[in-house]
Amino acid sequence: MGTNGSEPVYRVQSDFDYESIALALYQEWIELDLFHYGLATYSVEDFEAIGLGAEDRHLLEFMANQEVGHATLLSDMLGPEAPVQCNYNYPSMNLREYIDFSQKLTRWGESGVYGFLNHLDAREVGQLLLQSISTEARQQMIFRQFEGLFPMPVWFEIGTPQSWAWTLLAPYISSCPQNQTRLIWQNFPALHILNQPNPARVNGSSVWNETLGDYANTLSTEGLSDSDSCVNATEVGENCGPAITHNRTNPLSYPGRQVFLEWDAPGQSVGPNNSYVTSTAAGDTKFAAWVSQLNVTYSPLQSISGNTAYTIQPNTSTYEGDPAINGTIFLLITDRELPVTPFNLTQLNPFINALSIYQAG
């Protein structure tokens, strides 16, 4: 395809292309801002206190420079109507929390592109986007290594629909220029994981309400004692200082774990200038959907009371020897068990009540 001697045309060719690439550009802009924010906000002493030196700060700066290139590339393919950089509202974070937020943000940025890449009408655009998102995948792994997490605990990365990525991104945009491109993607209500695993703990699964309360369920180090902090641990399997790789003695999550959930009602104003509203077309909540690797696995919600429930993490494998639920994944609540696969995940959208990021490993 496209090798018959005709000159490739690197521009969007449909409304679907435009809205998808515009979403990717919104993501590149926030990453550019976020990486510079980290360098401007945290001192040299802050970085060194958690084991990150001058070369690590230079890597963060280099990743910000990569985003300049990514944003330029996507802007050129969109033309004059391309979204420009906005103003952002990040949670109040210390450096360790910032790194966790960044590894989650780059996860939905990466996965949000994988989900639509092979649906684009403009194959030339898809080629260039593939070459930029491959770099973003490396950024996500770098933040995992900064956080002391195992860099790539899965055999396959997740691809998600555009609305999932926009749901997680939009709440961190405070305002955009008045004539900014408006996206068509749905904003789902937030899902709060009350015992979200905390990678800053020696025993990261033994937690309760240790997040910043934001859409991404970013970890919180508030009240974390020195003895419970894995940054200060000296034992192999417990220490989680920055490293090429760490293996944890105590897993962050595991099959059979009770996961306690609370979700927002629809109708919340989010995104640039609070101009987007969360919505759902789903019926009564019944299931948790664990979206990881090539799998969507459902577990029933139990003890449903209003907007709260719990579920049990299922025991499932992608292939033998590869536990499916691992890494930085997506957790949804739905009104049914709809069979879907990586190429048609959008069929699940009408049945989603809320969604978020789950730190499975």
139 found inside a domain: yes
**According to the model, what pLDDT value does residue 181 have?**
85
Give how far Cα 61 sits from Cα of 35, 43, 54, 131, 140, Å.
7, 14, 11, 20, 15
Unique residue bearing structure tokens 């103003």: 87
Assess contact for 12 and 77: CB atoms under 8 A: yes
10 found inside a domain: no
pLDDT per residue as tens, the chain (361 positions) = 888 888 999 999 999 999 999 999 999 999 999 999 999 999 999 999 999 999 999 999 999 999 999 999 999 999 999 999 999 999 999 999 999 999 999 999 999 999 999 999 999 999 999 999 999 999 999 999 999 999 999 999 999 999 999 999 999 999 999 889 899 999 999 999 999 999 999 999 999 999 999 999 999 999 999 899 998 898 999 999 999 999 999 999 999 999 999 999 999 999 999 999 999 999 999 999 999 999 999 999 999 999 999 999 999 999 999 999 999 999 999 999 999 999 999 999 999 999 999 999 9
Q: What is the CA radius of gyration of the chain?
A: 20
Tokens, residue 258 = 């009770």
**According to the model, what pLDDT value does residue 204 have?**
93
Give the residue numbers spanning the domain of 168. 15-175
Same domain, 200 and 116: no
Assess contact for 300 and 335: CB atoms under 8 A: no
Same domain, 278 and 133: no
Assess contact for 122 and 213: CB atoms under 8 A: no
Same domain, 20 and 126: yes
Same domain, 91 and 202: no
Q: How many domains does the chain have?
A: 2
**Domain C-terminal end among 143, 175, 207:** 175
**Domain C-terminal end among 114, 148, 175:** 175
Among the listed residues 242, 220, 11, the one whose alpha carbon sits nearest the alpha carbon of residue 122? 11
Give how far Cα 104 sits from Cα of 31, 82, 84, 347, Å.
11, 25, 23, 24
Write the CATH number for 108. Answer: 1.20.1260
Instruction: Say what the alpha-carbon torsion angle 173, 175, 176, 182 is, to the nearest 10 degrees.
Output: 70
**According to the model, what pLDDT value does residue 250 have?**
93
Bridge partners (DSSP) of residue 332 are 289, 355
Tokens, residue 50 = 């958690």
Among the listed residues 344, 347, 352, 296, the one whose alpha carbon sits nearest the alpha carbon of residue 324? 296
- The Cα angle at residue 201 between residues 198 and 206, in degrees rounded to 5: 70
Among the listed residues 230, 234, 232, the one whose alpha carbon sits nearest the alpha carbon of residue 207? 230
Same domain, 222 and 147: no
CA–CA separation, 288 and 292 (whole Å):
13
8 found inside a domain: no
Q: Say whether 112 sits in a helix, a strand or coil.
A: helix
Same domain, 92 and 217: no
Same domain, 22 and 112: yes
**According to the model, what pLDDT value does residue 1 have?**
82
Same domain, 165 and 266: no
Same domain, 121 and 216: no
Assess contact for 151 and 118: CB atoms under 8 A: no
**According to the model, what pLDDT value does residue 351 have?**
98
CA–CA separation, 59 and 55 (whole Å):
6
Same domain, 170 and 196: no
CA–CA separation, 77 and 95 (whole Å):
35
Same domain, 195 and 169: no
Cβ neighbours of residue 270 under 8 Å, at least 6 residues apart? 170, 171, 187, 276, 277, 278
Same domain, 196 and 316: yes
9 found inside a domain: no
